[in-house]
Chains A and B, each alone.
Chain A
Amino acid sequence: QKEVEQDPGPLSVPEGAIVSLNCTYSNSAFQYFMWYRQYSRKGPELLMYTYSSGNKEDGRFTAQVDKSSKYISLFIRDSQPSDSATYLCAPQGAQKLVFGQGTRLTINP
């Protein structure tokens, strides 16, 4: 079993929809939880991160962590075609990031 599991999709939704992206993890030592966005043939770009359990909002993006169930979520409101990318959850273990497989998201105009 992988330390971080993420549904690879692909996920395709119409413009303006609310998108929910999710990961589960097994290592209870994780304290920081990152979300990266990666466009095709580019390096990952940090979207936002949360510490421990709770919610964090940044514009149209909301990150949620539930440490009791080891569940991580990213919500995108009012999705735009420019949000089309692969989204990677990445809990931080000690110094390194442990990435999920990534969910490929397409927002259709």
Chain B
Amino acid sequence: DTGVSQDPRHKITKRGQNVTFRCDPISEHNRLYWYRQTLGQGPEFLTYFQNEAQLEKSRLLSDRFSAERPKGSFSTLEIQRTEQGDSAMYLCASSLRGGRQLTDTQYFGPGTRLTVL
């Protein structure tokens, strides 16, 4: 257990419904990342936050996707009007970046598995 938690662990929804996932990072970590992983592939970057600021978004993040980190602690990822192609594992990671560090180690949560029927 890395200390990053995600809720729910599994979500089954019907096409066209909206879904929201939550990630709670390791408490002192200032960076939070979202990735998506489909079966047999490695995770793909979606977006990341430093504190409450969303600093980068992938082209994979269509306008149906929105992520927030309102107080620089937990984050939510919402998918509107879900499509079957959204079925995947949604992974959250957190890290501590600061000072003279040139990189930061990302610790992953267990993921939320989304199935869109």
- Whether a CB of chain A sits under 8 angstroms from the CB of B33 is yes
- Whether a CB of chain A sits under 8 angstroms from the CB of B105 is yes
- Whether a CB of chain A sits under 8 angstroms from the CB of B65 is no
Q: In the complex, which residue of chain A has the Cβ closest to the Cβ of B47?
A: A96
Chain B residues with Cβ below 8 Å from A8 are: 40
Q: How far is the CB of B1 from chain A (nearest CB, A)?
A: 10
User: Chain A, 94-109, contact with B by CB distance < 8 Å: what is the 0/1 string?
Assistant: 1111111110000000
Q: How far is the CB of B37 from chain A (nearest CB, A)?
A: 8
Chain B residues with Cβ below 8 Å from A42 are: 110-111
- Whether a CB of chain B sits under 8 angstroms from the CB of A90 is yes
Given A32-B103, A96-B48: A102 touches B108 (CB 8 Å cut-off): no
Query: Which A33-86 residues have C-beta < 8 A from chain B?
Result: 36, 41-46, 49, 51
In the complex, the answer to whether A96 meets B33 with C-beta atoms within 8 Å is yes
- Whether a CB of chain B sits under 8 angstroms from the CB of A21 is no
Q: Which of under 10, 10 to 19, 20 to 34, or 35 or more describes the interface residues of B? A: 20 to 34
Given A95-B55, A96-B33, A96-B56: A45 touches B42 (CB 8 Å cut-off): no
In the complex, the answer to whether A98 meets B45 with C-beta atoms within 8 Å is yes
The distance in angstroms between the C-alpha atoms of A53 and B72, with both chains bound, is: 35
Q: How far is the CB of B112 from chain A (nearest CB, A)?
A: 10
Chain B residues with Cβ below 8 Å from A94 are: 56
In the complex, the answer to whether B2 meets A101 with C-beta atoms within 8 Å is no
In the complex, the answer to whether A45 meets B108 with C-beta atoms within 8 Å is yes
Query: Which B69-117 residues have C-beta < 8 A from chain A?
Result: 91, 102-103, 105-111, 113
**Given A41-B113, A99-B35, A99-B44, 12 more contacts at CB 8 Å?**
A6-B42, A31-B102, A43-B2, A43-B91, A44-B91, A51-B103, A94-B56, A95-B33, A96-B45, A97-B45, A101-B42, A102-B40
B residues neighboring A (CB under 8 Å): 2, 4, 31, 33, 35, 40-45, 48, 55-56, 91, 102-103, 105-111, 113
A residues neighboring B (CB under 8 Å): 4, 6, 8, 31-32, 36, 41-46, 49, 51, 88, 90, 92, 94-102
